[in-house]
Amino acid sequence: MKKVVKFGGSSLASAEQFEKVGKIIKADPDRVYVVPSAPGKRFDDDTKVTDMLLHAYESANNGVDIADEMKAIKVRYDEIITGLGLDFSLDEDFKEIEATLRENPQSDFAASRGEFLNGKIMACYLGATFIDAAEVIYFNEEGNLNDYKTYRKLRERLAECETAVIPGFYGMGKDGNVKTFSRGGSDVTGSIVARASKADVYENWTDVSGFLVTDPRIVDNPEPIKYITYRELRELSYMGASVLHEDAIFPVRHCGIPINIRNTNAPEDPGTWIVESTCQKQDHVITGIAGKKDFCTIFITKAMMNAEIGFGRKVLQAFEENNISFEHMPSGIDTMTIVVHADEFIDKEQSVVSSIHRLAEPDSVEIEAGLALIAVVGRGMKSASGTAGKLFTALAKEGINIKMIDQGSSELNIIIGVQNKDFDTAIRAIYKTFIK
């Protein structure tokens, strides 16, 4: 058996947390490749090292002296090194990083150093080989992963090491500069390492006991999900369940490696298994609930719309011309609604409306902001009847007006739109109805 283990920021925020992580790794000799994040928050109001580094970059870029900021970051690492009793120093690395930030400030380089430095400490602590992610993970010109080069290089290097630490979150850009994934991207690195090493399991260790049915910041102590499929997870993480980076499933999904989400602070908990397919019986009809606020709707009417060939294409062309991607498109006989992210749309709203008029000649176009979307996801919905009815009753009981409904033809999810202000209440009502 071979396991790749990724530890998130809060799992590595202090020496005490590092010790927990060390114990977890040593408890199972199959845990051979380790992907660490940068030190995260030690307490609620704390700052993640990644954010401190990005701030230092801003300062350097604005010509402000960064000596004090870099010192504060170094304190975070030195506390970990001393707390672990390691005979190890990052003094030289800090000198180099500070000099680079002064001479040629780059935000991705700055952000990536959080993982780079934590990886060095981790490798020393475990007695494992340190592999700089910039030497094994490559991006292409478009900024996406260069699969071919990455897997070839990474396989080569991993084959040389019995155990290794590969820092998360970054790699090498096409221009020869360090480049990061989007925030939370260490999850993606873990997945890439799992695929490259043909691991049996990708363990993703965080600060909750698995993927929870819904966001613990909205519902108190939601149940953890025992088994969830890649497809269900994709729906939930796309819709805002932030425990795992939304791109993290692609590399492992490709070769069917399961992801096991685990809690560093409660290692005995089984966590969540994210799998390709499962026969495990589910406790509930639905698997999870997630959602996002701040969408806009563009409501279009035209008599005989249903008979006009090419109408939908013309409307979507208006969005394409304005470089806006759309989320959903529920439609009626003479009506069509396009749902888009507010932040992509607001500045271009009038341009989009006039493009729709020019291209599709509708009777009317109305736009509205303040829509929240909630996805209720579950492979069990396919074989259960009455799910939608139960869902709508739950919301009606709370006096919540449903602005939009969209059920995917895969019967894997139902998406409903409510006003932003009803978002939390709606999620709690759905949880209460379907879970407890």
In the complex, the residues that contact ligand ASP under the rule CB under 6 A are 9, 37-38, 48, 50, 114, 168-169, 183-187
Contacts of 335 (CB under 8 A, 6+ apart): 299, 300, 301, 305
From ligand ASP, ligand ADP, Mg ion, none, which one binds at residue 406 (CB under 5 to 8 Å depending on kind)?
A: none
Q: Is 39 in the site for ligand ADP (CB under 6 A)?
A: no
Q: Is 10 in the site for ligand ADP (CB under 6 A)?
A: yes
Q: What's the min distance (Å) between Cβ of 245 and Mg ion? A: 6
In the complex, which residue's CB is closest to ligand ADP? 8
Structure tokens at 80: 């970990």
What are the helix (H) ranges across 160-224? 186-196
Residue 24 vs 315, nearer CB to ligand ADP? 24
Q: Tell me the per-residue interface mask from 161 to 200 with Mg ion, x by CB under 5 A, - otherwise.
A: -----------------------x----------------
Q: Is 242 in the site for ligand ADP (CB under 6 A)?
A: yes
Structure tokens at 270: 């089984």
Q: Is 168 in the site for ligand ADP (CB under 6 A)?
A: no
Residue 145 vs 340, nearer CB to ligand ASP? 145
CA distance 287 to 213: 6
Out of 167, 173, 184, 380, the residue judged to bind ligand ADP by CB under 6 A: 184
Per-residue b or e along 144-154, where b marks 16 or more CB atoms closer than 10 Å to that residue's CB: ebbeebbbebb
Residue 169 vs 295, nearer CB to ligand ASP? 169
Q: How is 221-262 classified by DSSP, letter by letter?
A: SPPBPSEEEHHHHHHHHHTT-TTS-TTTHHHHHHTT--EEEE
Q: What's the min distance (Å) between Cβ of 197 and ligand ASP? A: 19
User: Which residues, numbered 122-151, are part of the site for ligand ADP (CB under 6 A)?
Assistant: none
Q: How is 288-315 classified by DSSP, letter by letter?
A: EEEEEEEEEEEEEE-TTGGGSTTHHHHH
Structure tokens at 37: 């994040």
From ligand ADP, Mg ion, ligand ASP, none, which one binds at residue 242 (CB under 5 to 8 Å depending on kind)?
A: ligand ADP
Q: What's the min distance (Å) between Cβ of 184 and Mg ion? A: 4
Contacts of 255 (CB under 8 A, 6+ apart): 195, 198
Q: What's the min distance (Å) between Cβ of 196 and ligand ASP? A: 18
Question: What is the signed CA dihedral for 112, 117, 118, 119, rounded to 10 degrees?
Answer: 90
Q: What is the DSSP letter of 243?
A: T
Residue 146 vs 272, nearer CB to ligand ADP? 272
Tokens 């993480």, residue? 237
List residues bridging with 297 in a β-sheet.
Answer: 339, 368
Q: What's the min distance (Å) between Cβ of 40 and Mg ion? A: 8
Query: Applying CB under 5 A, which residues contact Mg ion?
Result: 8, 184
